[in-house]
Amino acid sequence: MSATSPINGARLWDSLMQMAAIGATDKGGSRRLAATDEDAAGRALFRRWAEEAGCRVITDGIGNLFVRREGSNPDLPPVVMGSHLDTQPTGGRFDGVYGVLAGLEVLRTLADGGIETERAVEVAVWLNEEGARFSPPMMGSGVWAGVFGAEEILDKIGQDGARLGNELDRLGWRGAAEADHRRRPFAAYFEAHIEQGPILEHEGMEVGVVTGAQGQRWYEVTITGQEAHAGPTPMRLRKDALVGAARVVDLVNRIGMEGGEEACATVGILDVHPHSRNVIPGRVFLTVDLRHPENATLERFCRRFTDEARAICDGLGLAVEISEFWHFPSTPFDATLVGRVRAAAENHGFRHRDIVSGAGHDAVYVARVCPTAMVFIPCEDGISHNEAENIRPEDAARGCAVLFDAVLATARAG
């Protein structure tokens, strides 16, 4: 850790541990699903800390929370940091949370030092980044950036049957501010995050300078055959939907394995109907997640998947429906802001490298309408979306020091 950084690494770590205690799981992780009482408790703690640091609290109509430290020129759009406090059902202590609390530590450090900026500096807590309880993910940033309509998102029904808009009303999260980048523009946006992969740790790097995010395309697939008795039905006469699904799963894996080092392809959900030991499956639902940092390559993956999946099912006498559920293209981040992150890492003498994000983040949607950059720190064994997710206090402090320098340079830029 650089001796020149004014940020308080011990305070940052203590805040992370206090937040982790809300919704703590038996295996050391956190469970704060979006718009639940646990999520609300996490926000309440963050809000109290922000108010103690002298910040003003703003909530918009979709439930995004912003805390604001005023600048000398209130007419200028703010420089914003942010991420999310909601987690996966068996989530870790740092995914998203690190970015929010690193942003809070920047605000605390500015207050401690009496440092004045021309632009206001804010921290955003985006609604439902994870998409675990309500889908799709990145709802709050998506509405703000104009990717989704507010009413469309407010009407989403969660896995537990709850309507999102009703939950926001219950929690008092429907604020007066407009969830619209045209009404509340940002001058710049920074997001600090754990890498969620093994590259930085494997290469002995202390900071990742994120140059952009790879594209993603998600599909929902339903394969339909014919249910029949597992005993009397000859193999040659079967229309087994699970056999077709197994071959599609293998296809997805081959696309990823043959697509090069930066390719990722995953089947995350597999539901078999009627789920009986002695009935040939008549219907299978599965999800497919394809990713690559180059849009043309991702499009090629998608064409191969849809063409070969249909051919597999046709050959087995099965019907198949393939629908695109969600997608975003590969997203380059702003060269000037990325340069400030890189310069901050260099000035502190931190070992760093450029890296492309393999995961989706709120920064991806924000980048469509606002200059954006990200800071990555290593996570142990690259594990994330897992209760075993872990980082080192010194890495948390390094990432926050880089964030502080990049934000301060931008907020003073006028």
Residue 326: pLDDT over 90: no
* CA 234 distance to own-chain centroid: 47
Of 123, 127, 97, nearest to 16 by C-alpha is: 97
The token pair that represents 21 in the structure block: 């205690």
Residue 57: pLDDT over 80: yes
Q: How far apart are CA 92 and CA 87, in angstroms?
A: 7
Residue 75: pLDDT over 70: yes
Specify the pLDDT at position 360.
Answer: 84
Specify the pLDDT at position 6.
Answer: 95
Report in angstroms the alpha-carbon separations of 123 from 64, 69, 136, 354, 396: 11, 9, 23, 24, 17
Domain spanning 215-328 has what CATH number?
Answer: 3.30.70.360
Residue 319: pLDDT over 70: yes
Helices (H), 92-202: 97-112, 139-144, 150-154, 164-171, 199-202
Residue pair 64/126 in contact by the 8 Å Cβ criterion:
yes
Taking residues 304-318, report their average pLDDT: 98
Pairing, β 372-377 against β 65-69: unpaired
For 74, left (φ over 0), alpha (ψ -120 to 50), or beta?
alpha
Residue 241: pLDDT over 90: yes
Sequence-ordered list of residues with C-beta below 8 angstroms from that of 342, at least 6 positions apart, any chain: 209, 352, 354
Residue 358: pLDDT over 90: no
- What H or E segment, with its residue span, contains residue 207? strand 207-213
Q: How confident is residue 327, by pLDDT bands cut at 50, 70 and 90?
A: confident
pLDDT per position as a tens digit, 245-280: 999 999 999 999 999 988 999 999 999 999 999 999
* CA 207 distance to own-chain centroid: 19
Taking residues 199-206, report their average pLDDT: 97
Specify the pLDDT at position 261.
Answer: 86
Residue 312: pLDDT over 80: yes
Specify the pLDDT at position 3.
Answer: 55
Percentage of the chain lying above the pLDDT 90 cut? 94
Q: How far apart are CA 63 and CA 338, in angstroms?
A: 29
The token pair that represents 77 in the structure block: 């759009």
Residue 328: pLDDT over 90: no
pLDDT per position as a tens digit, 102-159: 999 999 999 999 999 999 999 999 999 999 999 989 999 999 999 999 999 999 999 9
Residue 4: pLDDT over 80: no
Residue 2: pLDDT over 60: no
Other beta carbons less than 10 A from residue 335's beta carbon: 11
Would you say domain 9-214+330-411 falls under CATH 3.40.630.10?
yes
pLDDT per position as a tens digit, 285-303: 999 999 998 999 999 999 9
Provide the residue ranges of all domains of the chain, joining segments of one domain with +. Answer: 9-214+330-411, 215-328
Q: How confident is residue 414, by pLDDT bands cut at 50, 70 and 90?
A: low
Sequence-ordered list of residues with C-beta below 8 angstroms from that of 184, at least 6 positions apart, any chain: 60, 144, 177, 178
Of 107, 119, 116, nearest to 7 by C-alpha is: 107
Q: Is the dihedral of CA 28, 32, 37, 43 positive or negative?
A: positive
Q: How far apart are CA 130 and CA 36, in angstroms?
A: 13
